Amino acid sequence: MPIFQYTLLATDGHARRGVFSTPHGDIQMPAFAPVGTQATVKTLTPDEVRMVGADLILANTYHLYLRPGAERIARFGGLHRFMGWDGPILTDSGGFQVFSLSDLRQVDADGVTFKSHLDGSYHRFTPEKVMAIQAQLGADIIMAFDECPDPLDRAYNEEALARTHAWALRCAESQQRPEDQALFGIVQGGIFPDLRLESVAFLTNLDLPGYAIGGLAVGETKAQMYATLDIVTPALPADRPRYLMGVGAPDDILEAVARGVDLFDCVLPTRIARNGAIFTRHGRKNLRNARFADEQGPLEEGCTCYTCQRFSAGYVHHLIKAKEILGLRLTTLHNLHFLETLMREIREHIEAGDFLAFKEAFLSDYLQQSS
């Protein structure tokens, strides 16, 4: 049996319940991966990340290449040993950061020259270089080097798609550790159905272990994102995982699962937590608001996370206002527990055959607004 294998356990409409096997354990899907950009999920220990229910952590190739360096991480035995996480890890290619963080970059057919956001030094990423870096990092799932353009710019998407496809082929040809690293291709093409289907056709011809959908949640409307997923996911292989990159809002996750997506990652739950905001079944709440100061109940009634079981909303409000680190930890624990619980419930309802009813009931209560 191959080390990397997607097993489909149940379906409900287009929603899929599956398992993806990796050298460091199984990923129960649909799954949400907390983002550990710098080889850490901000404010939490690996044990706490496991406690909230996560199977998989995402780390960032661009940032780890710049600091502390892939060679140094390799000397520690790879990312798993370096960060003390024994479960599956996914590293992105760094492509999105090259194009979004760099204030100077030059793109050509061979790769990208960019300026570090840390010290202004110049660096070059090619598909071969990105594969070598990810081999040193040692993640279970690695991503092909791609270009993430403005999703609404047709002309540039055509140019970028040609580069993304050429680079994906070079990544596949130069991958150093196919025996213990699953290379995922990234479907691009903006909001344009013909470009997206062209991308699916090219990448699936490479017969990769999994496929990501990139270039969404980067400027298009929700309706355009959902319409793009309606086009892309049915065209992807049924026996491979489907990964929607950079999406983590509960409503978007539910809508994407309903369209056949298996895997998600996003900085949203940890980022808003550090700004005092939390997810609840009734929408996003801002704990900085004065109305929480005298709230003696938990952040959310019925929540079983560590924060809600031990502390009042009034106490967490105090910590946030006082800029205490514990406040950031407690809100982060809550938000990740919220999303991982949602993913578990999604899996259960797909298995039970009533996922669509669950989705509609959840969304009828979930209002994405601060209060």
Q: Which residues are catalytic?
A: 92, 265
The neighbouring-strand residues paired with 16 are 11
Distance CA 347, CA 6 (A): 15
Q: First vs last Cα of the chain: how many Å apart?
A: 51
2-29 burial code (b ≥16 CB/10 A, e <16) = eebbbeeeebbebbbbbbbbbebebbbb
CA distance 356 to 188: 28
Tokens of 315: 């106490």
Backbone CA torsion sign across 253, 256, 262, 263: negative
**Closest alpha carbon to 5 in 237, 207, 182:** 182
Instruction: Determine the Cα–Cα distance for residues 266 and 189; give it in Å rounded to an integer.
Output: 21
Please enumerate in sequence order all residues whose Cβ is within 8 A of that of 81, keeping only pairs 6 or more positions apart, or say none: none
**d(Cα 281, Cα 230) in Å, to the nearest integer?**
26
Token pair, residue 109, equals: 């057919």
In angstroms, the CA 312 to CA 293 distance is: 10
- The torsion defined by the Cα of 228, 342, 63 and 89, in degrees rounded to 10, comes to -100
DSSP letter assigned to residue 305 = S
Phi then psi for residue 254, to 5 deg, are -60, -45
Exposed/middle/buried for residue 274 (C-beta within 10 Å: 0-12, 13-18, 19+): middle
CA distance 323 to 271: 15
